[in-house]
């Protein structure tokens, strides 16, 4: 059989066409837009201004500053809840004698539900007055409890975290469970024979062996934490005030409500830079272990 260049090209062609037209070209074009001034409604074409636009966004745009801070106020609790929640759950499910696969299906279920509809569901759950969450709190003894979770600037962002973590948990659960299954039973048995308690066993045996998986799930949660659009768009539209304005949503708002494609691209690129910097930071943190294993 001849393995010719031509056949190789034919096999690669569909991939290359889609990647070039819908990924590579957009990346380059939005970089160009980021270096330009371009109001899609009024300007006939982008006007090149160099890095001035980036400078203005980073140093002078107070909405950008708010979005930047909000993004981290969202990302930190989101990271903690998703990471710890799925880690603990994975350890528990791994210990189960019965029903492990049943519970896995249950916890994976939110992965298939559209995030926008998760948003509608949580908005309904956390409704003031007739919302079931407030009702349960009232029943538990908090009198006259009636918080408008998504309508109050103090609680709106954290209520978004709740919905986002609910949806994400299954993904990291998959990662942790496959990590746990990879740990030889014999090491854990040996620890037990030596008299280690359950928590000692987890801390000294399981977690160190899980390190590459802790890294991988950190990266995935982080990438996700920076892509916060659906829930904001469906539930709060950045409000009340600007309390849930995230980078992603701000970029979208600039592009498709104000039609300011230049600044929107700048915000998008800065978001990308944050993701990349954090990924690099995490890989430093876990460097030696992952390099030898993965």
If the CB atoms of residues 8 and 69 are measured against other proteins, the closer one turns out to be: 8
If the CB atoms of residues 72 and 229 are measured against other proteins, the closer one turns out to be: 229
- Contact status: 257 vs other proteins (CB under 8 A): no
Helix H, strand E, coil C: the string for 174-196 is: HHHHHHHHCCCHHHHHHHHHCCC
- Contact status: 48 vs other proteins (CB under 8 A): no
- Contact status: 269 vs other proteins (CB under 8 A): yes
Instruction: Considering only residues 85 through 124, tell me which ones interact with other proteins, judged by CB under 8 A.
Output: 89, 92-93, 95-99, 103-122, 124
CA distance 76 to 74: 6
Q: Which of 218, 229, 213 is nearest to 164 (CA)?
A: 229
Instruction: Considering only residues 216 through 255, tell me which ones interact with other proteins, judged by CB under 8 A.
Output: 216, 220, 223, 226-227, 229-230, 233-234, 248, 251-252, 255
* Inter-residue contact 122 to 162 (CB < 8 Å): yes
H or E element in which residue 68 lies: helix 62-95
Structure tokens belonging to residue 12:
């690669």
CA distance 165 to 89: 13
If the CB atoms of residues 156 and 252 are measured against other proteins, the closer one turns out to be: 252
- Contact status: 27 vs other proteins (CB under 8 A): yes
- Contact status: 51 vs other proteins (CB under 8 A): no
Structure tokens belonging to residue 118:
């998760």
Q: How many CB atoms lie within 10 A of CB 168?
A: 24
- Contact status: 47 vs other proteins (CB under 8 A): no
Of 72, 145, 171, 282, the residue at the interface with other proteins (CB under 8 A) is 171
- Contact status: 41 vs other proteins (CB under 8 A): no
């Amino acid at each position: 059989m001849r393995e010719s260049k031509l056949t190789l090209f034919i096999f690669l062609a569909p991939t290359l066409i889609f990647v070039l037209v819908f990924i590579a070209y957009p990346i380059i074009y939005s970089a160009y837009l980021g270096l330009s001034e371009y109001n899609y409604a009024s300007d006939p074409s982008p006007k090149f201004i160099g890095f001035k636009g980036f400078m203005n966004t980073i140093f002078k745009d107070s909405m950008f500053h708010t979005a930047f801070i909000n993004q981290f106020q969202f990302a930190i609790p989101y990271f903690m809840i998703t990471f710890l929640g799925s880690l603990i759950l994975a350890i528990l499910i791994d210990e189960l004698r019965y029903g492990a696969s049943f519970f896995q299906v249950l916890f994976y279920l939110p992965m298939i539900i559209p995030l926008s509809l998760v948003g509608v569901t949580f908005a309904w759950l956390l409704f003031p007055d007739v919302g079931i969450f407030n009702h349960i709190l009232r029943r538990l003894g908090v009198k006259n409890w009636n918080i408008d979770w998504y309508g109050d600037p103090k609680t709106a962002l954290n209520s978004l975290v709740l919905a986002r973590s609910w949806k994400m948990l299954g993904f990291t659960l998959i990662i942790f469970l496959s990590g746990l299954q990879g740990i030889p039973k014999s090491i854990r048995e040996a620890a037990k024979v030596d008299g280690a308690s359950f928590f000692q066993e987890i801390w000294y045996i399981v977690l160190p062996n899980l390190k590459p998986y802790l890294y991988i799930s950190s990266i995935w949660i982080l990438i996700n934490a920076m892509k916060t659009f659906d829930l904001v768009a469906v539930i709060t539209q950045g409000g009340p005030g600007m309390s849930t304005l995230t980078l992603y949503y701000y970029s979208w708002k600039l592009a498709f409500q104000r039609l300011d494609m230049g600044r929107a691209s700048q915000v998008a690129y800065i978001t990308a830079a944050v993701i990349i910097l954090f990924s690099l930071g995490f890989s430093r943190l876990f460097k030696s272990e992952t390099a030898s294993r993965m």
